[in-house]
Amino acid sequence: GSSLEPQERSMEPPAVPEEEEPLTAASGPEGQQLFGYVGIEAVLDQMKIKTMKMGFEFNIMVVGQSGLGKSTMVNTLFKSKVSPKSSQPGQEERVPKTVQLQSVTHVIEEKGVKMKLTVTDTPGFGDQINNENCWDPIIKYINEQYERYLREEILITRKRKIPDTRVHGCVYFIPPTGHWLRPLDLEFMRRLSKIVNVVPVIAKADTLTLEERAEFKQRVRTGPRGARGCPMSPPAPLKPCAPQIQEDLRTHAISVYPQEDFDQDPDDRALNDRIREKIPFAVVGADQEHQLNGKRVLGRKTKWGVIEVENPAHCEFPLLRDLLIRSHLQDLKDITHNVHYESYRVRRLSESHRLALSPLNGLPPAPPAAPTAPPQRCPSPA
Amino acid sequence: QFSDSAGYVGFANLPNQVHRKSVKKGFEFTLMVVGESGLGKSTLINSLFLTDLYPERYIPGAAEKIERTVQIEASTVEIEERGVKLRLTVVDTPGYGDAINSQDCFKTIIQYIDNQFERYLHDESGLNRRHIIDNRVHCCFYFISPFGHGLKPLDVEFMKALHGKVNIVPVIAKADTLTLKERERLKRRVLDEISEHGIRIYQLPDADSDEDEEFKEQTRASIPFAVIGSNQLIEVKGKKIRGRLYPWGVVEVENPEHNDFLKLRTMLVTHMQDLQEVTQDLHYENFRSERLKRTGK
């Protein structure tokens, strides 16, 4: 049988072909004009389906003194009993003598998307009398995960999917003193923000009124004048002054997430500026539900009222959750991979002569350059 | 924005985050076309992507072809559709199969593919990984002539040499020279010979539970795709369509009853990501292991 048009066509005079039309309309800088529809969008659908099928890993670390509600916060974030609380009876939690790191992994699923969540807790941090260098075990842990990934990456026969244990975000809990950042806070954030995404939060913010919160944030952002940690004069009257806020953070070389340097385009910048204005978030954690006005709400019940965790008028927990999970989760991972991990890799490659890649590089090992500018963002090969 | 139904955390939104970033970043894809001259490769590529990649084509005469060796010509075009950007590079291989003695004609091609792997390996191993460009060949359309009785010796040799380096998608060109029966016979013949020689062509991944299982099966069953390309627009029943006008009728490019063009295009577009992944996870990793083993630690 013929595969051409049905027989009736042969009754009509053959169609006249059009003049061969130019198939490309004016080609703008963006590319050629299409005459019809190819269906490239389908690629995106494939990616989505694949992401959903594969599931993904997400690793966060919580740092702060004991009793600041870290575990409760994690449980509230992920709406499941991910972390065992130190306040529970039966948890033989004596304050460890040194900083211990404990990682717990859970697989949680939502609407067909699977997440392998690992939460690393740091009991003992800041709890000693002498807390000097208490950040060292944490820095060591973070670098160990980078090392692990690097070693997998340089193997001759690599895994198809390298397991990712790198810390994507480090939530740092600031006690709600209402005064200044303590030297420990400054020291920690300064060192860690160089190697990992640091998200500072004001913990147990329900002990602060709204005014006290605003004032505290202002101070956290601005920092005391003069010697670190020593206010030289009573705090200046509240006058939110954006350039100064950023400047003071920068003076201490503390670049918290979302870092300004990594905004990719004006849209990103606008979105992230709004977030940066509110950092650090004043959060309250709760894993108990209460009945309020006919609804079940997650919150803390006191004699003077119920503090609703998910109510933006009560605390900024929703902002933290949205940032970490709903909007910037992938970004946290991307920056970890493209910036922090790459910095680590460059340092290691520069140091070591014995890595398997050296014969291919043909590069003489360069002395590790002291980073004067923060690490730049680069597109991911993976 | 998100319904705070009890228990809803919100990470199910991750695919959308990835989606948004991908749209911003755009995609890169490199497609190689291999086949003897005159099999309609350029016309097909233009039809597939609705572009004119070869505006000023120069077709050499027979005398010139005698001396010709295989050239590698890469052209890049940026295609944007509904906000999604695709940077498509088509690698053409004029001269393939032209020479009287075609013994060495795929050496150049193998070398090109290896060079892209080598370059990527070098970039990936370097200190500055900021601007790695992926020029690796993600897919190779191999054009089989409809005039023979199956694969020619050159076809077999080529595919055996390349199946470990690139995803091969065999295509029967100029399918309008065959009736449906002849087409089916040729397809079966080609598939038998492919299996006989242990040639590994690109396999479509299994359908997901929510994808059209039947559609996937139909697509799979049509390989090798028998296609027709055309740069001409013809008016049929009041519509302008791409086709070839013969005295006995019009062959429509986008008519699934006439040829497998739509199937090929759909397959390509919906599997672009998979093609890239197989290139990365299989072909590139093989190259890399071999290369690193050779260098020795």
Residue A212: CATH number of its domain = 3.40.50.300
Let me know if residue A344 belongs to a domain: no
In angstroms, rounded to a whole number, what is the distance separating the alpha carbons of residues B219 and B224? Answer: 10
pLDDT at B21: 79
Q: Does residue B160 surpass a pLDDT of 90? A: yes
Question: Given a cut of 80, is residue B92 above it in pLDDT?
Answer: yes
Task: Look at residue A379 in the predicted model and tell me its pLDDT.
Answer: 43
Closest residue, chain B, to A339 (C-alpha): B130
Residues of chain A with pLDDT > 90, as a percent, come to 16
Which contiguous run of DSSP H or E holds residue A274? helix A266-278
Q: Which of B8, B9, B180 to mutate to test the interface with A (most CBs of A within 10 A)?
A: B9
- Chain B partners of A22 at a C-beta cutoff of 8 Å? 52
pLDDT band at B121 (very low <50, low <70, confident <90, very high): very high
Predicted confidence at residue A11, as pLDDT, reads 38
B293: nearest CA partner in chain A? A156
Domain encompassing residue A279:
56-87+96-338
Mean pLDDT of chain B: 84
Looking at the complex, report in whole angstroms how far the Cα of residue A276 sits from the nearest Cα belonging to chain B.
Answer: 20
Per-residue pLDDT at B59? 65
Of A165 and B37, the structure prediction assigns the larger pLDDT to: A165
- Low-confidence residues of chain A, pLDDT below 70? 1-37, 82-97, 178-180, 222-251, 353-382
Cross-chain residue pair B50–A379, CB shorter than 8 Å? no
Distance from CA of B34 to the nearest CA of A (A): 22
pLDDT of res. B143 = 93
B273–chain A nearest CA distance, Å: 7
For residues B19-27, average pLDDT: 79
> Which has more confidence, A364 or B132?
B132
pTM above 0.80, yes or no: no
Contacts of B249 in chain A (CB under 8 A): 2, 4-5, 9-10
Cβ-contact A215, A239 below 8 angstroms: no
Question: What's residue B25's pLDDT?
Answer: 79
Q: Which residues of A touch B132 (CB under 8 A)?
A: 379, 381
Q: How far is A33 from chain B (nearest CA, A)?
A: 8
pLDDT tens-digit readout, A295-305: 888 888 888 88
pLDDT at B270: 83
Give the distance from residue B132's alpha carbon to the nearest chain A alpha carbon, in angstroms: 7
Cβ of B130 within 8 Å of Cβ of A376? The answer is yes
pLDDT computed for residue A326 by the predictor: 84
Å from B67 to nearest chain A CA? 33
- Residue A382: inside a domain, yes or no? no
The beta-carbon neighbor of A310 closest among B4, B11, B125 is: B4
Tell whether the model's pLDDT for residue B283 goes beyond 90. yes
C-alpha A118/C-alpha A104 separation (Å) is: 6
Among A32, A157, A349, the residue with its CB nearest the CB of B79 is A32
B-chain residues near A320 (CB < 8 A): none
CA neighbor of B40 nearest in space, from B181, B224, B230: B230
Residue A76: list chain B partners with CB under 8 A: none
In chain A, which residue's Cα lies nearest the Cα of B247? A14
Determine, yes or no, domain membership for A331: yes
Per-residue model confidence (pLDDT) at position A131: 79
The residues, any chain, with a CB within 8 Å of residue B81's CB and separated by 6 or more, are: A34, A37, A38, A39, A40, A41
The beta-carbon neighbor of B132 closest among A36, A356, A381 is A381
Q: Would the CB atoms of A32 and B18 count as touching at under 8 Å?
A: no
Model ipTM value = 0.77
| Position B47, amino acid | S
Question: B165-197: per-residue pLDDT in tens?
Answer: 999 999 998 988 888 899 999 999 999 999 999
pLDDT-derived band of residue B297, with 50, 70 and 90 as boundaries? very low
Give the pLDDT confidence score for residue B62 in this predicted structure. Answer: 64
Asked if residue A24 belongs to a domain, the reply is no
Name the minimum distance, in Å, from the CA of B35 to any CA of chain A. 24
Which residue from A minimizes the CA distance to B86? A40
Identify which of A4, A35, A48 has the shortest CB distance to residue B15: A48
Residue-level pLDDT at A47? 76
Question: Do B247 and B83 contact (CB within 8 A), yes or no?
Answer: no
**Is A291 strand, coil or helix?**
strand
pLDDT band per the 50, 70, 90 thresholds, residue B198:
very high
Taking CB atoms and an 8 Å cutoff, what residues of chain A touch B128?
Answer: 346, 378
Shortest Cα distance, chain B CAs vs residue A144, angstroms: 20
Is A309 within a domain?
Answer: yes
Interface touch B250/A9, C-beta < 8 Å: yes
Determine the 3-state secondary structure of A198 from DSSP. Answer: strand
With CB atoms and an 8 Å threshold, state whether B180 touches A3: yes
Which of A310-324, B13-27, B131-145 has the least mean pLDDT?
A: B13-27
* Strand-by-strand arrangement of the A198-202 sheet: A102-110, A113-121, A56-63, A169-174, A198-202, A281-282
Asked if A5 lies within 8 A of B296 by C-beta distance, the reply is no
Give the closest residue to A378 by CA, choosing from A261, A288, A293.
A261
Asked whether residue A272 is domain-assigned, the answer is yes
Q: What is the total count of domains within chain A? A: 1
- B2, B126, B231 member nearest A326 (Cβ): B2
- For residue A243, give how far its alpha carbon lies from the nearest alpha carbon of chain B (Å): 29
Interface test with B, best of A11, A150, A311, A326 (most B CBs within 10 A): A326
How much is the pLDDT for A361? Answer: 44
pLDDT digit string, tens, across residues A204-245: 888 877 777 777 777 777 655 433 443 333 333 333 322 333
- Domain locations in chain B? 26-51+68-230+260-296
Residues in chain B closer than 8 A to A334 (CB atoms): 21
Is the model more confident about B57 or about A314? A314
Cis peptide before A280 (omega within 30 of 0): yes
Chain B residues in contact with A110 by the CB 8 A cut-off are: 8-12
Distances (CA, A) of B35 to A159, A223, B42, B93, B150: 35, 69, 10, 8, 14
Chains A–B, number of C-beta pairs less than 8 Å apart: 235
Note the pLDDT of residue A24: 31
What mean pLDDT is reported for chain A?
A: 73
| Pairing verdict, β B139-144 and A295-302 | unpaired
The CATH number given to B26-51+68-230+260-296 is: 3.40.50.300
Residue carrying structure tokens 């269906």: A39
Are A334 and B21 within 8 A, CB to CB? yes
Is residue A318 situated within a structural domain?
yes
